[in-house]
Amino acid sequence: MIPRLLPAAALALAALATLGAPPASAPATAQASVDSVSFDAYLELLKARARAEGVREDTLDRMTAGLTPNPRVIALDNNQPGSATTRGYPPMSNYIATHVDAARIGGGRAVYGQHRDLLARIEAQYGVPGAIIVAIFGHETSYGRVKGDFDLARSLATLAWEGRRRELFAGEFVALMKIAERGYDRSQLVGSYAGAFGNPQFLPSVYLRLATDGDGDGRADIFTNRADTFASIANYFRDAGWRPGQPWGVRASVAPGFDAAAYRTRLVSPVCPRVHERLSRWMTVAEWRAAGVVAQGGLADDVMVAFFQPDGPGAPAWLLTGNYRAILEYNCSSYYALSVGLLADEIVN
């Protein structure tokens, strides 16, 4: 249902639409955005948009009282590392060594053992292995220990006003206001500088779409409730197309002289192309075996998989299923996705 806009709100939204994204070379500051629109004026436009989508005035008042731009958020957003260049990618082995380490493995095994029955129930309902759920929990927040302490309303309003990804963060700000409508205090709505929050680090729009009540109490609490956290992560993966009963991938042995370049993909992904271009074309397990790549795990001959040997000939190689792509939906990074899969394996093996 599309809410009918009040005239004032419609005018404000029209003004909002005229605010273009800034040039890539223009630095943002906490005094004035590159569009020369004051933060206070832009905040009124955001509030009008939320109001037009049904958010109550008292919610807007308590979530925006005293709100000011956060220069730290702008600095962090402008200093994110870029994608790989022609110089290549950093070694995967270094990343795995620091992200699938003894602390994460031990912590994951402890969480998995403590909640084995709960995870089994959720896996039966959603088809997503408990080990994958726990591995995401471990990667995102170190099993709930590091969730961020940025005021989400301030961060999202700042990022929307800054303008580099205005529509994304304006939408997330409105989604956050809708979450606040459900009875969450502003002091509870804290997280990363970019707006992700809770144990699984969902963005507000993802929370509204996929957060799930895992224990039947009528509330999807991804802040402290592990049943809700696990069910929400599982629901995310089911929505991303996770295929029950299939691993994310398996180690592969490679015949001497195998030419990986001959099997490079010819497809260009519309999202995260630099990630997907590193994967080979998709072929069946049987076809890869005939080519000299043998799966070291239980995969049927007709399963479609991609070959991945990130650190080149002689380094570890994997055959990846469609479930690997589901992990990429959570975070479109080969480093992230492979380390999640490997951590999940270590948790249960």
Q: The tokens of 20 are what?
A: 């273009």
Write down the mean pLDDT value for the chain.
89
Confidence category of residue 107, pLDDT binned at 50, 70, 90: very high
For residue 229, the SS3 value is helix
pTM of the model: 0.87
pLDDT tens, position by position, 156-207: 999 999 998 999 999 999 999 999 999 999 999 999 999 999 999 999 999 9
pLDDT tens, position by position, 281-306: 999 999 999 999 999 988 999 999 99
Confidence category of residue 330, pLDDT binned at 50, 70, 90: very high
Confidence category of residue 116, pLDDT binned at 50, 70, 90: very high
Residue percentage of the chain with pLDDT more than 90: 81
Q: Which residues contact 277 (CB under 8 A, 6 or more apart)?
A: 264, 265, 268, 269
Residue 226: other Cβ atoms inside 10 A: 22
pLDDT tens, position by position, 17-60: 333 333 333 344 444 444 578 999 999 999 999 999 999 999 99
Confidence category of residue 89, pLDDT binned at 50, 70, 90: confident
Identify the pLDDT of residue 35.
Answer: 58
